[in-house]
Amino acid sequence: MTKDYLIKGTAGENQIRVFGAVTTNLVQKSIDLHHTSPTVSVAMGRLLTAGALMGAMMKGNDELLTLKILGEGDLQGILVTADANGAVKGYPYVKQLKPDPFEAINIASAIGNGSLTVIKDIGLKEPYVGYSPLVTGEIAEDLTYYYAKSEQIPTSVSLGVLLESEQRVKQAGGFIIQLMPDTEEKIISELEQALSQMPSMTKLLEAGQSPEVIFSDLFKNLGFKVNETKELKYHCNCSLEKVTKALISLGLKEIEAMIAENESIEMHCDFCETNYPFTSNQLKTIAQEIKKN
């Protein structure tokens, strides 16, 4: 399978900015890691794709985007993070819905009423936090609404994940189209006209259309050009060092209680499902280190 990638481009005399992504492999990776049932797999895939697209809007190397959906439905929630370098990861609060027939995937009902939170950590003391209620629970429309309400940017978001079997992704991808401030009326109406004639995301995915082809078709009267292409991947940056730091941050009391109760413990990374076991002796060493400092 070809690699996942993202393109950034412009159209309409630079008054429209566009982001398109192919995310088939990273969505597959999420399924392989989390062993999700079909509805959860598709919901995860949509939010991971949104993360990849929105991560590409971040600038600095240390900037981090977090998308969190919380809902009253059985899926409960999804968390995704992405950076500006094409690394994206996430996890669902509930991995398997039962029943969850492959033929009847229903994201909106699995998520239910809820909220979308967007956190942009751009290295300032306080991260930017935006929040909006879910309008459909289908994720793309919720993001479109978020952009209109929270950031006042007219945006069209489209996200799609097509499964070919319970555990297998056929095609995944999406795009974000945004109007720059003061976009001319004639360009807005051209764009609206083009969007209204666009095939559905599912049809585009079924046809295996690349973002370049989709955008060239969509913007045939608006002059589309690609400014940047970058690789996307599902990547978790956890490490024994980071996990140990997290353990230390629990405090001496907590660690001594663990030593008293158990022979060993296991720390777990929700993003990549890696276990980090700590023996009682390792915990004692950590406790001693904390006492020393």
Residues near Zn ion (CB under 5 A) are 236, 238, 269, 271-272
CB of 6 to Zn ion, least distance (A): 22
Q: Which is nearer to Zn ion, 236 or 247 (CB)?
A: 236
CB of 274 to Zn ion, least distance (A): 5
- The CA distance from 89 to 252, in Å, is 31
Helix (H, G, I), strand (E, B) or coil at 233: strand
Q: Which is nearer to Zn ion, 81 or 158 (CB)?
A: 81
Q: Which is nearer to Zn ion, 107 or 269 (CB)?
A: 269
Q: Which is nearer to Zn ion, 31 or 236 (CB)?
A: 236
Name which of 39, 22, 19 is nearest 138 in CA terms: 39
CB of 282 to Zn ion, least distance (A): 19
Backbone angles phi, psi at 167, to 5 degrees: -115, 10
Q: Which residues of 7-34 are buried (b: 16+ CB within 10 A; e: fewer)?
A: bbbbbbeebbbbbbbbbbbbbbbbbebb
Cα–Cα distances in angstroms (integers) from residue 56 to residues 17, 59, 231, in the given order: 12, 8, 11
CB of 31 to Zn ion, least distance (A): 16
